[in-house]
Amino acid sequence: MKHKTTKILNILHQEHIAEHLTSLSEEHQLEMVNNINSLDLSVLSAGETSEERGSFDPLFAKTFKQIEEDSEKYTEAGLKAIKDGKVGAVLLAGGQGSRLGFDHPKGMFNIGENRELYIFECLINNILEVKEKAGAWIPLFIMTSVDNNTETREFFEQHDYFGYNSDNVWFFVQEQLPTVDTNGKLMLSAPGKISTAPNGNGGWYASMAKTGMLKVVEETGIEWLNVFAVDNVLQRIADPCFIGAVIKSGKVSGAKVVAKADPDEKVGVLCLEDGKPSIVEYYEMTEEMRTSREADGTLSYNYGVILNYLFRVDQLNKTLTVKLPLHRAFKKIKYMNENGEIITPDEPNAYKFETLVLDMVKLQDDCLAYEVDRKKEFAPVKNKTGVDSVDTARELLRFNGIEI
Ligand code: UTP
């Protein structure tokens, strides 16, 4: 068995791992062989995703003004869907939050200044508001990773789910993929253990399927899933008006979007690609796309996504057989060096492989772009200071009258 694993490692140009394997005791060799055999090593031949892009067209959003005109009708439809048990929420909390440099799950970060106010707490407070309005609990699925699952669950337990009903909270763990250094070599995280990292936020639905969560979705009759990121402390979850607007539009998905602050803002923009909803990254846009304007003066490619999507479950089921593109992300990844020392890098040093939820948008027949006010709904906590940081998020919380 060891012989075959060594052979595979050599074919894959991972001789250093083969050597490490041979240096272990018999018992640990067996463990490591099992570890290696359970990994998806196909990532080793995955290069930088250089997808051929199709032809882009603008996708116009339902603007604030349009939403406001019909907000009562939308809210009523959304609340009805929630009351009827047709809506579930999915919190993506499996990321490593390496830019924030906080050594715990990001949701455990205390964003408060004069009182304790955790990121998870902000999110639960927001979903509780909807629960109050609808008079019904919204099933909340929380995706964690192998690394942060126990801590996340314990944190929720310790804080009594911040007032949410724990019967309506479902944790599931996403999958891992091996990481590689800048030479494409696998790394060790401990003796006999290959370093892996969570496989990106695009794996959420497949992980829900693998962990049995889709049975819960099926049995409870959930028809829509609202997927959102952990790190936006102003995130509106299961927003009745948004849900109602998507349902009334007859479309199979919806995305909350914010108008770009200026043509050069570095955000992915919701658009049409070969007639299908898609997200074009800022670096993929031509000068003409960046600056082109409509007759009323608004930018043609104006609406940035904020990782808050509504998907129809029957459409998501269709995506289970599709392989999403694999992206490489350059990150700070802890590893064990040749001397057996564990190194915690200060700067990005290695690649993790991820699929992205935005690539699922492309698999939808259509998508309602739903404009929201970034000052009221978008306060991402990505960095310690500067852009999208703890400082900017605190300022926005204060702006919205939230005591911190
Ligand atoms: P980010 O792209 O900001 O990644 O995640 P990250 O790992 O949290 O942070 P950095 O880049 O290392 O600083 C956006 C959202 O997707 C989730 C995150 O938890 C966050 O809600 N995510 C990301 C996952 O759930 N799993 C992943 O593998 C990656």
pLDDT greater than 80 at residue 131: yes
The tens digit of pLDDT for each residue in 329-338 reads 999 999 999 9
Report the percent of the chain where pLDDT is more than 70: 99
Over residues 188-200, the mean pLDDT reads 96
Using CA atoms, how far apart are residues 288 and 275, in angstroms rounded to an integer? 19
Q: Where are the domains of the chain?
A: 1-38, 39-399
pLDDT greater than 60 at residue 49: no
Q: Where are the beta strands (DSSP E) in 188-343?
A: 188-190, 193-194, 196-198, 224-229, 253-259, 269-273, 276-280, 303-312, 327-331, 335-336, 342-343
> 356: exposed, middle or buried (C-beta count within 10 Å: 0-12, 13-18, 19+)?
buried
254 within ligand 1 shell (Cβ under 6 A): no
Over residues 7-11, the mean pLDDT reads 94
332 within ligand 1 shell (Cβ under 6 A): no
Pocket test for ligand 1, best of 149, 230, 328, 333 (most atoms within 8 A of CB): 230
Neighbour tally for 142: CB within 10 Å: 23
Using CA atoms, how far apart are residues 88 and 242, in angstroms rounded to an integer? 14
Ligand 1 atom at minimum distance from 98 CA = 12
Using CA atoms, how far apart are residues 404 and 395, in angstroms rounded to an integer? 10
235 within ligand 1 shell (Cβ under 6 A): no
Over residues 41-47, the mean pLDDT reads 83
142 within ligand 1 shell (Cβ under 6 A): no
Q: What CATH fold (topology level) applies to the domain 39-399?
A: Spore Coat Polysaccharide Biosynthesis Protein SpsA; Chain A (3.90.550)
Residue 150: the pLDDT is 98
93 within ligand 1 shell (Cβ under 6 A): yes
Residue 261: the pLDDT is 87
Ligand 1 atom at minimum distance from 100 CA = 13
Q: What distance in angstroms lies between residue 232's CA and the mean position of ligand 1's atoms?
A: 11
312 within ligand 1 shell (Cβ under 6 A): no
pLDDT greater than 80 at residue 51: no
Over residues 272-283, the mean pLDDT reads 93
Residue 200: the pLDDT is 96
Is 225 within 8 Å of 311 (Cβ atoms)? yes
pLDDT greater than 60 at residue 387: yes
Q: What distance in angstroms lies between residue 70's CA and the mean position of ligand 1's atoms?
A: 34
Q: What distance in angstroms lies between residue 93's CA and the mean position of ligand 1's atoms?
A: 7
Q: What distance in angstroms lies between residue 21's CA and the mean position of ligand 1's atoms?
A: 32
The tens digit of pLDDT for each residue in 234-266 reads 999 999 999 999 999 999 999 999 999 889 888
Name the closest-CA residue to atom 18, ligand 1: 95
Ligand 1 atom at minimum distance from 91 CA = 21
355 within ligand 1 shell (Cβ under 6 A): no
pLDDT greater than 90 at residue 227: yes
pLDDT greater than 90 at residue 1: no
268 within ligand 1 shell (Cβ under 6 A): no
Over residues 3-27, the mean pLDDT reads 93
Q: Dump the DSSP string for 331-355.
A: E---EE-TTS-EE--SS--EEEEE-
pLDDT greater than 70 at residue 204: yes
User: In the numeric block, which tokens belong to residue 315?
Assistant: 């459409």
| pLDDT tier at 53, thresholds 50, 70, 90 | confident
Q: What distance in angstroms lies between residue 341's CA and the mean position of ligand 1's atoms?
A: 27
Over residues 100-110, the mean pLDDT reads 96
Would the pTM of this model clear 0.75, i.e. be above it?
yes
Mean pLDDT (the chain, rounded): 95
| pLDDT tier at 60, thresholds 50, 70, 90 | very high
352 within ligand 1 shell (Cβ under 6 A): no
Q: What distance in angstroms lies between residue 148's CA and the mean position of ligand 1's atoms?
A: 12
Q: Which amino acid is at 75?
A: T
Pocket test for ligand 1, best of 145, 151, 231, 266 (most atoms within 8 A of CB): 231
